[in-house]
Chains A and B, each alone.
Chain A
């Protein structure tokens, strides 16, 4: 086994930059160096790589090395089995199957029994996924995977989680894939299950709000200006997005509407009491819910949005932000089916999913977590949907111009 600290900057950057979990995209790093080797034995070395940028900032990534080659070896059975063992789960390592397309971690299914996740983008502090999985287990929330083991490092330079292992949830697929597939034969698949999804989501939030003794989970009355802070952040995002919007016919319909959208933020932020702020899923969409072989929804992946900082991902917020993530995901699914498979969602499909989901949620949600009036609820949900739409617009305009029509249509609908 080669000493990870002997790897050169170019070798390290070659591993990190090319990886799909890399957050470096589009930027040119200055150099990279191994700053910690929390695990090193005959099978695997886990190394913390500090990637430095010209301005003087840096980011930390975790790589798994085996043998003498300078390549990431996490998907090798013996490596995955060894990491699982270090996390406290004995696995045979008979089979390893990569899963998920995640932006900040790598997951493999091990022996068709466990999901082993290696956290790639490291930040100091409690890992929100582990915190949430433990809180859900304590609250006996049945619709989330069971946490089986964890591998952590005390640092320096970072005290953080490196890997986790959960029991595999036997499932026919995730909500995104199954929805897209459903348009070919059974377009009512998701509408039929959306009410239950709302119900499960309400249960998720109730479980996250269940522990008054833990300061990290205790529901909090938001401060007077918290909604105004959120609105200001959304507003700055709109200004930044439209200032850098590329010239593109697909964007033409909204390109000149920035001021109208900013006005809408003001309108929607007039919510009144917003309900208690709680820990949330943070990156909730159809790809984060599995339809189990037992015929129910199971929620996975509690890391929060990978592009946000750890304090942001751990922040207590209105649970309606999760709802907005899911309702926007319905709209995406309908359009993605057309773009990817050429299958069309029937008229009213998105609205049917949204209505059933929201109804299922409201019928089961704890009132203290919500704005007391339906008007307030609709506005706050709208505000978070608008936040998502602006993020989608920025992302698609830069990365997938062909998809930009999805947020454009969504924004125009909200402006009507």
Chain B
């Protein structure tokens, strides 16, 4: 039985929550989180107001890239449980009104995947053409190397096949060859396998790189879009209310191609907006946010942006100018250990020096922008990171449930844990945990729960238009979200000092702004510019009900 009313655009008003099954809760005392553990924490996520859980990869994997190196698309890595336990988890989430999407990596597999093992046997192997092989490294030379810290080339020599294979990421992640139609069919079969279990969709990892062609940078090629359209058509034909969320770390004008004409991906992440929010905060000016949104083309009405402050990867600085990148490194990555690839590997709270006003302001801006917010596990309590762990493990440490042993994450011996929990005096589990924050009405967690509920009272945040407002003060970011019957004015002070701003709201003359959190009526809007004053990093959201209508 379905637990949801049919609603093809449910994702447009949803609040997403990204988590690692491995990092969330360990029910089997083996030091690693699992699906039974995750299931036992669903009440927490429901309480928080989450609409959709995004799971990082849980497939069998040699774990050389956090599980993005998949060695079997049709199974669950044994430490997480079984396929049946996964399905039970999905149903339990549905029962609580939450949907579930998972990461799916279409571009490549682990080199340990049986497909690759077969492919490398030689040109006579039935799967010889399932990967991109070459006798020379002088093909696709215009394609950049993405993981510049660890890879020198996109080609790696395989002594067994005596040829080079193509990989856009790590050398142990060979790219699948979509020129071979059997590959597309096999990948679609894998998608169907999970959709048949009730899964609500996929976050499609690294989609720009499916196809290669000489004389191009091998990103966003027409053939790649054509394949994604085929995926969408086959999903729509057999299932309802599912979502495809594209991970394409590209400029907005290129990313919008992944929406097609509303016939490709339902959602795509808006990567460049995120570093600009951090830049705006540090520079105390609205311009970086306003500019990137100005630069963002309109998208089809059945599509939505995914927006986030931080995620499981480094804070990517690929989609900024060189100058902006230098600025971001100087401001947010003082310690060289904080840098990774082209980005900064830190969590939200440490990036903002644990500043509560800053964390609230950044969430306010995130929740006010046109798109669906994606929260990263642990950021709701202000968890920190561990710079001494390799790669991106520093932002993937165990969820901090209590001040007890192992942060309440696991009853295994400390040495057995997949990663050590944070134990520093500022962000460690004794200082920062769910249990303590649940008890305190003023905690970040309790504030965020109220704030999620507030956003969900107003679908206009997910559905409405966006219009930046001219302000008399460059430190103020002001904009309108509007639908036919709801108008919300969002005004944020990016400065660390008190500010005043005058806004031209004359077109709303006669309306009385009502502040959303406390339902306080402000002075009516007149002909003259509307004056608002703010404390440091303060913000107001107002309803602007039409005269004669109740708020």
A235 and B439 alpha carbons, distance in the complex (Å): 9
CB of B485 to closest CB in A, whole Å? 4
Considering only CB atoms, which chain A residue lies closest to B97 in the complex? A311
- A228-B43 Cα distance, complex, nearest whole Å: 11
Given A223-B40, A228-B435, A231-B438, A55 and B486 contact (CB-CB distance below 8 Å): yes
Contact B44 A57 (CB under 8 A): no
Question: Which A residues are CB-close (under 8 A) to B441?
Answer: 232, 235-236, 239, 262
Q: Is A67 an interface residue (CB 8 A)?
A: no
Stretch at the interface among A8-16, A103-111, A151-159: A151-159
Contacts of B549 in A (CB 8 A): 28, 54
Taking a contact as CB atoms under 8 Å apart, the answer to whether B485 and A54 are in contact is yes
Q: In the complex, what residues of B have CB within 8 A of residue A231's CB?
A: 438-439
Contact in complex: A224, B435 (CB < 8 Å): yes
B contact residues around A233 at 8 Å (CB):
47
Q: Hey, what's the 0/1 contact readout for B451-491 against A, CB within 8 Å counting as 1?
A: 00000011110010000000000000000000101100000
Most buried by A among B1, B483, B486: B1
Q: Which of A60, A228, A311 contacts B95 (CB 8 A)?
A: A311
Chain B nearest CB from A34 CB (Å) reads 15
Pairwise interchain contact B5-A232, C-beta atoms closer than 8 A: no
Who on chain B is nearest to A311 by CB?
A: B97
Does B408 lie at the interface of the complex (its beta carbon under 8 Å from any beta carbon of A)? yes
**Separation of A55 and B454 alpha carbons in the complex (Å):** 12
Question: How far is B435's CA from A231's CA once the two chains are assembled, in angstroms?
Answer: 11
Does chain B have a CB within 8 A of A120? Answer: no
Question: What is the chain B residue whose CB lies nearest that of A215?
Answer: B88
Asked if A229 contacts B44 (CB within 8 A), the reply is: yes
Contacting pair A232 B458 (CB below 8 A): no
Using A233-B47, A239-B441, A311-B46 as known contacts, say yes or no to A56 and B5 having CB atoms under 8 A apart: no
Q: How far is the CB of B21 from chain A (nearest CB, A)?
A: 16
Which residues of B are found within 8 Å of A225, using beta-carbon distances?
43-44, 401-402, 434-435, 438
A309, CB-defined interface residue at 8 Å: yes
Closest to B462 in A: A56
Kindly state whether residue A293 has any CB partner on chain B within 8 Å: no
Q: Flag whether A124 is at the interface (Cβ < 8 A).
A: yes
- In Å, the complex CA distance between A310 and B95 comes to 9
A221 to chain B, nearest CB (A): 8
Is residue B450 contacting chain A, with contact meaning CB distance below 8 A?
yes
A47 to chain B, nearest CB (A): 16
In the complex, what residue of chain A is closest to B241 when comparing beta carbons? A156
Interface size range on B against A: 35 or more
B2–A125 CB distance below 8 A:
yes
Residues from chain A with a CB closer than 8 A to the CB of B458 are 55-56
When chains A and B are docked, how far (Å) is the Cα of A228 from the Cα of B7? 33
List chain B residues, Cβ under 8 A from A314: 95
Q: Mark A228-246, 1 if CB is under 8 A from B, else 0.
A: 1101110110010001000
A156, A224, A310: the one contacting B402 at CB < 8 Å is A224
Residue B414, interface by CB 8 Å:
no
In the complex, the answer to whether B43 meets A226 with C-beta atoms within 8 Å is yes
Complex: A224 Cα to B400 Cα, angstroms: 12
B5 with A158: CB separation less than 8 A: yes
> Whole-angstrom distance from the CB of A132 to the nearest CB of chain B?
15
Contact mask for chain A residues 251-285; partner B; CB cutoff 8 A; 1 contact, 0 none? 00000000000100010000000000000000000
Q: Which residues of B contact A156 (CB under 8 A)?
A: 5-6
Q: Which residues does chain A contribute within 8 Å of B91, judged by CB atoms?
A: 215
Contact across chains for B5 and A124 when beta carbons are under 8 A apart: yes
A88 located at the interface, meaning its Cβ lies under 8 Å from any Cβ of chain B in the complex: no
In this complex, the member of A30, A158, A232, A311 whose beta carbon has the largest number of chain B beta carbons within 10 angstroms is: A232
Set of chain A residues within 8 Å of B92, measured between Cβ atoms: 215
Which of the residues A28, A126, A216, A311 comes within 8 Å of B550, measured between beta carbons? A28
Interface centre among A156, A228, A262, A309 (most CB of B within 10 A): A228
Indicate with 1 or 0, residue by residue over B486-516, a CB within 8 angstroms of chain A CB atoms: 1000000000000000000000000000000
User: Which residues from chain A contact B6 at a C-beta distance below 8 Å?
Assistant: 155-158
Q: Which residue of B lies closest to A48 (CB)?
A: B5
Residues in B neighbouring A311, C-beta threshold 8 A: 3, 46, 95-97
Q: Shortest beta-carbon distance, A309 to chain B, in Å? A: 7
Select one of B3, B449, B460 contacting A55, CB under 8 A: B460
Give A157 to B435 CA distance when docked, in angstroms: 39
The answer to whether A56 and B463 touch across the interface, beta carbons within 8 angstroms, is yes
B54-78 interface with A by 8 A CB criterion? none
Asked if B295 is an interface residue, CB under 8 A from chain A, the answer is: no
Encoded as 1 (CB less than 8 Å from any B CB) or 0, chain A from 103 to 141 comes to 000000000000000000001111000000000000000
Within 8 Å CB of A56, what residues of B?
458-460, 463, 483, 485-486
Residues of B within 8 A of A (CB): 1-7, 40-41, 43-44, 46-47, 88, 91-92, 95-97, 401-402, 408, 434-435, 438-439, 441, 446, 449-450, 457-460, 463, 483, 485-486, 518, 549-550
Extra contacts besides A54-B485, A232-B439 (12): CB < 8 Å: A28-B550, A125-B2, A155-B5, A225-B43, A228-B434, A228-B435, A229-B43, A229-B44, A232-B438, A232-B441, A232-B446, A310-B97
Task: Name the 4 nearest CB pairs between A and B, nearest first.
Answer: A56-B459, A156-B6, A54-B485, A228-B438
Return 27 A-B CB contacts under 8 Å, by A number: A54-B485, A54-B486, A55-B458, A55-B459, A55-B460, A55-B485, A56-B459, A56-B463, A123-B5, A124-B2, A125-B4, A126-B1, A126-B3, A156-B5, A215-B88, A215-B92, A224-B402, A225-B401, A225-B438, A228-B435, A229-B47, A231-B439, A232-B47, A232-B441, A309-B97, A310-B3, A311-B96
